[in-house]
Structure 1
Amino acid sequence: MSDATDGFPLDAPARNPFLPAAAPRESTSRVIAEALRAAIVDGTLAPGAPLRQDAIARHFSVSAIPVREALRQIESEGWARAAVHKGVTVAPLSADEAREIYEIRSALESLAIGLAIPNHSAATLREAADLCRAAEREPDPSLYVARNVAFHMSLYAPAARPQLADMIGMLHRRGERYLRLKFGLPLYKGESDNEHAALLDAVQRGDIAAAQSQVVAHLLGTGELLHRFLTERAQAEAALAHQPKPRGRRPRTTTGS
């Protein structure tokens, strides 16, 4: 791959160090789509950034075909938007989308944890506890997001509902760039750690009602926090944009005697 982006603002190569020369087109498009998602989540590709097909193809040293397929894929998942005469751009952050993602997660994860608790074993509970502690000790927001996902999914895995797990996993991916906003604020990371500990305790006790109540409150609270944060930020940016620009002073003129 080439580091030259020419309109595709990736500061580092994609996750895979190279694309196999004989890779099927479908797998190539998946690699590109995953790299684009990662760049959007970590902020390398900011909301509104152009996703130029030719620049992406040069960056990955591929033809336009797998790039076109990758762009279609991330657009269908909500990561990008296509507009006439504007091409494809990174989708903006949306307060309403953030809240809705967490509302849906609360319903699905409440179902999953209720199905999982009767099937937890000493080994799966130890794994969940280890993942909970690892997330609590993780100071890096981007790594915390990954540990957060691993902890949540470990609570639901014993449910043995692969389609439900796939849906929850997709929503986790959709919510990643929103979650990074929350964990950029140390106060809210501490709150989440405490909520995780309470959730784990309910699962360890086998208390389905308490665990469902904990996970719903945890997720709905995150959704409301993100909705409020993004709404207030948008209002502040709009107010700033409408402020009159300061006028420069007129130069003094002097007259001869």
Structure 2
Amino acid sequence: MTALTRFPRFFVTSPSACPYLPGRQERKIFTELNGAHAGELNDALGRIGFRRSQSVAYRPSCVGCNACLSVRVVTGEFRPNATQRKLIRRHSDLEVTACRPWATEEQYQLLRRYLSARHPGGGMTMMDETDYADMVEQSPVSTYVIEYREPAERGGELVGACITDQQADGLSMIYSFFAADRPERQGLGNLIIMDHIVRARNAGLPYVYLGYWVKGSERMAYKTRYRPMEVLGPKGWSRLEEDAAAPVAEKQPAFA
């Protein structure tokens, strides 16, 4: 590993309005991911709470606030509850494909529908096709786009997608979007998470990284539905809730 990879240069953004807690400001620390060891660096940083966006790894570094907590699902011990099992059965007809990170017009149009339905005032609504292509394709690590489609006999429409990194110890869900305007397909976001948990567990990967959780934020509450979950604190990773341990399967490729 090169010295540049072992000792990356970090930078800090200027403060801006916090998107999760009113009246607060956010600041991020970040570094570039490039070169032959970008994947190793991303894995190491992911274990201490960093997230990837294109060729940058970042994490919150807010003055006087540590509300954003990294969370990950322990895949070997996850057992869906009755509601989650019902959701899996409801969408069991979907066809799921792991695709190489190549942006398509179909994906982009689904993203626009999703943002319009769920985040109409968000900054991502300004993204054009080039911005979306950069988000998908500018990845220096092992990345896939997981597509969720209607059955071929019903037209094969794309109804969900997730940009996903495969790291050494798990899958990191970078960004997911879906047909939030289809009442008959309610719960697609939850289904995508559970599909990733199953994929990771079958591949022998112990975790699915869900990004940041802010206690008390309604937008973030869904992340705590997947137990057991670990949260990153000053002393490292610990259980958000105690559960009995279960063995993890032998490692296999997550995206065979």
Verify same fold: TM over 0.5.
no
Larger Rg: 1
Higher fraction of helix = 1
Give the TM-score, by structure 2 length: 0.30
